[in-house]
């Protein structure tokens, strides 16, 4: 069987680990691996290549994706989806492994419903916001990138008696902000999932300031749109000279951690095994309760991910 792998949407550390394991393991199973370059756009334009060992040698330590990624407005149109299918047929490709997020999986659900293609998705987004999986590829590396930045910011905050407001990624999901706030000992965390009780936080912080607190660290998820508001509040109401740091796209880059490399391997092997099993595909690999599994695509795209209540409970002291 000819199988292909592609990346879709935002990049995340660990993509290269999954790509390498896909190629190596597909060949180990006696099948033929292909690489699709530039995501959905490359699928439409036929940028497809028979993979060789040379294509994936020495890529484990690299961030990003050697086969690159994209978002595609053209894929919303049937004629372009048909063109993409014809490109797969030309190479005899029957199964696809797609590293991506919710939007990519919705696109694949529609594509595989229209054409004779089997698909398995690998959840890949540092936001960790895909339903049905406790973990998405790239999250551990992103958290460690944020942790390193926060540790350094703490040094400056404590030295100059300042407040720092740090904006991290997370449009609709506050996972990165929540876990970073908990693990760094931040005083404030603002996420999309819950209302930030500014009055309660202000009362608590004023008491701590009166008792000798000399710095404040606030973590804000970008999706709240409240970074500047929180900075003004701290400066005007709490009296701290305040600086804003937006971490931005450095959270997506960098060499993947050992955990992300291993998860990339595990997800890729599970995806290939499913495609070669003859069982129904159109599944997403998931990491649930410490074990790898598969979930049907309909469940993944029809439900909204929720933050772990245990993590939300740990944030209560920051309200």
Would you please indicate which residues are annotated as catalytic (active-site) residues? Answer: 127
Between the alpha carbon of residue 104 and those of residues 43, 101, 255, 284, the distances in Å are: 13, 5, 24, 11
State the Cα–Cα distance between residues 101 and 171, nearest whole angstrom: 13
State the Cα–Cα distance between residues 209 and 263, nearest whole angstrom: 43
| CA 203 and chain centroid, separation | 35
The single-letter DSSP state of residue 255 is: P
Which of 79, 83, 85, 73 lies closest to 113, judged by CA? 85
| Count of helix runs (H) and strand runs (E) in the chain | 12, 11
- Residues 3-30: b if buried by 16+ CB within 10 A, e if exposed: bbbbbbbbbbbbbbbbbbbbbbbbeebe
């Amino acid at each position: 069987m000819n199988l292909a792998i592609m990346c879709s949407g935002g990049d995340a550390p660990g993509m290269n680990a999954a790509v390498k394991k896909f190629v190596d393991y597909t060949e180990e199973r006696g099948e033929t691996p292909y690489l699709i370059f530039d995501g959905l756009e490359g699928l439409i334009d036929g940028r497809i290549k028979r993979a060789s060992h040379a294509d994936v040698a020495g890529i484990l330590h690299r961030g990003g994706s050697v086969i690159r990624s994209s978002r595609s407005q053209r894929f919303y149109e049937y004629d372009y989806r048909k063109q993409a299918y014809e490109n797969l047929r030309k190479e005899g490709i029957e199964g696809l492994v797609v590293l991506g997020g919710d939007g990519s999986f919705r696109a694949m659900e529609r594509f595989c419903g229209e054409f004779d293609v089997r698909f398995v998705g690998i959840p890949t987004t540092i936001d960790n916001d895909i339903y049905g999986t406790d973990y998405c590829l790239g999250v551990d590396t992103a958290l460690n990138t944020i942790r390193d930045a926060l540790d350094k910011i703490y040094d400056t905050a404590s030295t100059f008696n300042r407040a720092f407001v740090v904006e991290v990624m997370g449009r609709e999901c506050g996972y990165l902000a929540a876990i970073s706030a908990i693990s760094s000992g931040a005083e404030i965390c603002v996420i999309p999932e819950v209302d930030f009780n500014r009055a309660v936080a202000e009362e608590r912080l004023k008491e701590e300031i009166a008792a000798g607190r000399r710095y404040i660290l606030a973590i804000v998820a970008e999706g709240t749109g409240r970074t500047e508001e929180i900075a003004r509040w701290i400066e005007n109401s709490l009296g701290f000279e305040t600086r804003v740091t937006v971490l931005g796209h450095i959270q997506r880059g960098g060499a993947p951690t050992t955990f992300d490399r291993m998860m990339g391997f595990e997800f890729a092997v599970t995806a290939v095994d499913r495609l070669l099993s003859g069982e129904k595909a159109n599944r997403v690999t998931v990491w649930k309760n410490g074990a790898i599994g598969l979930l049907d695509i309909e469940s993944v795209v029809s439900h909204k991910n929720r933050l772990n209540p245990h993590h939300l409970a740990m944030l209560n002291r920051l309200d």
